[in-house]
């Protein structure tokens, strides 16, 4: 009996030893299936862990999924450090799917238990808030963004609007542009009417509206997108409007249109425009767009050369509050302009020739660079007289005490008969009196140098008095003048540039008056000795 048990035990021991040496070592892996992630209406991410056993390997790895036993799909998985994953696309919205992971080592296959997930259902479209791009007397442009279509094809996309006195809501369709933008132009609106607009989109699931945007149609035009003024004005009103107020951003294309409406084209040609009053207080000038005049383009916060050149219809203009620079001859030839208001932020303001009706400058009280007195423009400290209005008719003008300098071109074409200077004036800018209508000018004793071309083109000038401090007269000082008398109060003859008296027959026709007892000094000084008549 004992020999039998001993035999059995030996067989077991031998069998165990044999199993260790010759038993299978390629074992199936251990799988763990994860819950689906990244679920949307049409996508989901499936993943799982794969733990190898023994010398096992993975030959094939699949995710199997389907919404029913009849619709099963096997998708090769992507191996990761932890196991495998796959991104499913093209799923049906609002549908429940079953799935499992299947792995083969080439000899046998194992799979996980089955899990399930549900894709999100389709929804109504999603819209951003609607915005008003611009508006005019009878038109408006509105814009919205379609965030998503809800997974369904759109059946309607556009805007619904109604007037304050109308119960009927009108619909205008719109087409999708880049990045989901859609816009529409509302036309044939009634003037001086309040309107409410809202964006609208619909699909098979439902419809959605944005909040209402309200506006009133009037002569006040709103532009949020530079270069779109033509959309607001339209061809029908372009040559009919006589007065408009604009707010928003304007570029070169917009100013080109304004010139057209003011009666002048981009090359200076006449147009049928009737616009005469232009209020730009709430406008910001920005770069971009087409040239507004010839080859001139807009710059940020700048009214550029020739912007309103020869727009003779222009009677009144309010400049933008944000403008910092007004270049020379912005308003050249604006013969109808009577008042020019300089707004808050202007730091540089140059003259414009040919504004023969301009009677006064006005300056914002908060402007830190300029001030005004009796319609005449000065620097803030009132030490420099900057500009005298070309259309301000005055028989005698005496420059106020405290003014130390007359800026260049300050009295250009000014219609003043007699100009008298306070003793405080000690400086003159180049061409300060160019083209002025003076008949008589008396300069202060504090002015030592008479700058070049200072009286150039003053064809009506007959009498000039140079103060006792005069030491030098520059070239072309009296070019184009027909002086009858020149009074020099300096005891010592001032030095003169070689062409100081070019441009006129001064020596033969003009009488030179000099201080008592100084006649001989002038007689023997060049070029003073060339005057035929010298009177003490």
What pLDDT score was predicted for residue 130? Answer: 96
Q: Check: CB of residue 209 under 8 Å from CB of residue 185.
A: no
pLDDT tens by residue, 272-305? 999 999 999 989 999 999 999 999 999 999 999 9
CB 285 within 8 A of CB 302: yes
pLDDT digits (tens, 9 = 90+) for 186-242: 988 888 899 999 999 999 999 999 999 999 988 788 998 999 999 888 888 899 999
Q: If DSSP states are collapsed to H, E and C, what string results for 380-440? A: CCCCEEEECCCCCCEEEEECCCCCCEECCCCCCCCCEEEEECCCCCCEECCCCCCCCCCCE
Secondary structure of residue 148 in the 3-state scheme:
strand
Domains, the chain, with CATH or none: 27-118 (2.60.40.10), 126-218 (2.60.40.10), 228-374 (3.80.10.10), 393-536 (3.80.10.10)
Instruction: Tell me how long the chain is.
Output: 536
**Is the distance from CB of 195 to CB of 140 less than 8 angstroms?**
yes
d(CA 82, CA 378): 81
Spatial separation of the C-alpha atoms in residues 449 and 473, rounded to whole Å: 6
Cβ count within 10 A of residue 468 = 14
Structure tokens at 117: 């997930």
CA dist 413 and 396 (Å) reads 15
At 252 the three-state DSSP class reads helix
**Alpha carbon 157 to its chain's center:** 30
Identify the pLDDT of residue 24. 57
Q: Would you say 144 and 177 are in contact if contact means Cβ atoms under 8 Å apart?
A: no
pLDDT of residue 59: 87
Would you call the peptide bond into 527 cis, given omega within 30 degrees of 0 as the criterion?
yes
Q: Answer yes or no: are the C-beta atoms of 122 and 148 closer than 8 Å.
A: no
Reduced to 3 states (helix: H, G, I; strand: E, B; else coil), residue 270 is strand
Q: What is the pTM of this model?
A: 0.69
Q: Is the CB of residue 351 less than 8 Å from the CB of residue 328?
A: yes
In whole angstroms, what separates CA 29 from the centre of its chain? Answer: 66
Question: How many other β-carbons are positioned within 10 Å of the β-carbon of residue 450?
Answer: 24
Rounded CA gap, 249 and 232, in Å?
A: 13
pLDDT score, position 27: 81
| Cβ(441)–Cβ(462) below 8 Å | no
H or E, element range at 22:
helix 2-22
Question: Are 489 and 467 a contacting pair, CB within 8 Å?
Answer: yes
Q: Which helix (H) or strand (E) holds 457?
A: none
- Cα angle 16, 17, 20; round to 5: 90
Name the one residue in this structure whose structure tokens are 């390629």: 26
- Structure-token match 């696309």, residue found: 89
Q: Which residue has the tokens 């140079």?
A: 466
pLDDT by 10s per residue, the chain, length 536? 434 333 333 443 434 444 444 445 668 889 999 999 999 999 999 999 999 887 778 889 999 999 998 889 999 999 998 899 999 999 999 999 999 999 988 778 899 999 999 999 999 999 999 999 988 888 889 999 999 999 999 999 999 999 988 889 999 999 999 999 999 989 888 888 999 999 999 999 999 999 999 999 887 889 989 999 998 888 888 999 999 999 999 999 999 999 999 999 999 999 999 999 999 998 999 999 999 999 999 999 999 999 999 999 999 999 999 999 999 999 999 999 999 999 999 999 999 999 999 999 999 989 999 999 999 999 999 999 999 999 999 999 999 999 999 999 999 999 999 999 999 999 999 999 999 999 999 999 999 999 999 999 999 999 999 999 999 999 999 999 999 999 999 999 999 999 999 887 889 999 999 999 999 999 999 999 999 999 99
> Which pair of structure tokens corresponds to residue 352?
């414009």
- The count of other CB atoms within 10 Å of the CB of residue 500 is 21
Q: What is the DSSP string of 181-244?
A: EEEEEE-SPPTT-EEEEEEEEEESS-EEE---EEEE-SSEEEESSTT-HHHHHHHHHHTT-SEE
Instruction: Report residue 213 as tokens.
Output: 């945007």
């Amino acid at each position: 009996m004992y020999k039998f048990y001993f035999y059995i035990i030996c067989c077991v021991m031998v069998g165990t030893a044999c199993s260790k040496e010759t038993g299978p070592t390629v074992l199936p892996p251990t799988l763990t299936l994860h819950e689906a992630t990244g679920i949307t209406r049409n996508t989901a991410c499936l993943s799982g862990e794969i733990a190898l056993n023994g010398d096992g390997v993975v030959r094939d790895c699949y995710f199997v999924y389907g919404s029913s036993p009849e619709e099963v799909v096997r998708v090769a998985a992507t191996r990761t450090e932890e196991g495998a994953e796959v991104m499913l696309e093209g799923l049906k919205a609002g549908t429940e799917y079953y799935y499992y992971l299947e792995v083969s080592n080439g000899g046998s296959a194992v799979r996980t238990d089955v899990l399930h997930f549900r894709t999100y259902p389709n929804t109504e479209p999603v819209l951003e808030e609607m915005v008003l791009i611009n508006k005019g007397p009878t038109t408006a442009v509105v814009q919205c963004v379609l965030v998503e279509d809800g997974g369904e094809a759109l059946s309607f996309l556009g805007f619904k609007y109604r007037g304050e006195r109308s119960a009927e809501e009108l619909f205008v369709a719109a087409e999708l542009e880049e990045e989901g933008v859609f816009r529409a132009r509302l036309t044939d609106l009634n003037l001086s009417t309040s309107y409410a607009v809202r964006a609208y989109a619909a699909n098979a699931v439902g419809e959605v509206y944005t909040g209402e945007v309200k506006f009133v149609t009037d002569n006040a035009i709103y532009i949020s997108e530079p270069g779109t003024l033509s959309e607001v004005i339209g061809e029908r009103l372009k040559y009919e409007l006589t007065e408009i107020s604009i707010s928003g951003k304007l570029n070169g294309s917009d100013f080109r249109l304004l010139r057209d409406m003011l009666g002048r084209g981009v090359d200076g040609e006449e147009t049928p425009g009737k616009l005469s009053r232009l209020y730009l207080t709430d406008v910001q000038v920005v770069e971009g767009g087409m040239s507004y005049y010839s080859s001139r383009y807009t710059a940020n916060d700048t009214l550029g050369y020739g912007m309103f050149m020869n727009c003779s219809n222009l009677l009144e203009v309010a400049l933008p509050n944000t403008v910092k620079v007004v270049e020379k001859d912005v308003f050249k030839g604006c013969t109808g302009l009577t008042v020019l208001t300089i707004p808050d932020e202007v730091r540089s303001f140059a003259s414009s020739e040919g504004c023969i009706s301009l009677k006064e400058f006005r300056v914002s009280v908060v402007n830190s660079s300029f001030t005004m007195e009796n319609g005449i423009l000065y620097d803030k400290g009132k030490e420099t007289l900057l500009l005298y209005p070309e259309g301000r008719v005055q028989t005698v003008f005496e420059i106020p005490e405290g003014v130390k300098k007359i800026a260049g071109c300050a009295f250009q074409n000014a219609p003043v008969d007699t100009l008298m200077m306070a003793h405080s004036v000690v400086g003159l800018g180049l061409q300060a009196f160019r083209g002025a209508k003076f008949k008589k000018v008396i300069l202060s004793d504090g002015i030592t140098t008479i700058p070049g071309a200072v009286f150039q083109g003053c064809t009506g000038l007959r009498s000039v008095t140079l103060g006792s401090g005069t030491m030098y007269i520059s070239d072309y000082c009296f070019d184009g003048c027909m002086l009858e008398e020149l009074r020099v109060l300096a005891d010592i003859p001032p030095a003169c540039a070689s062409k100081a008296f070019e441009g006129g027959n001064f020596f033969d026709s003009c009488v030179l008056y000099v201080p008592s007892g100084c006649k001989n000094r002038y007689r023997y000084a060049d070029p003073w000795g060339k005057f035929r008549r010298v009177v003490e």
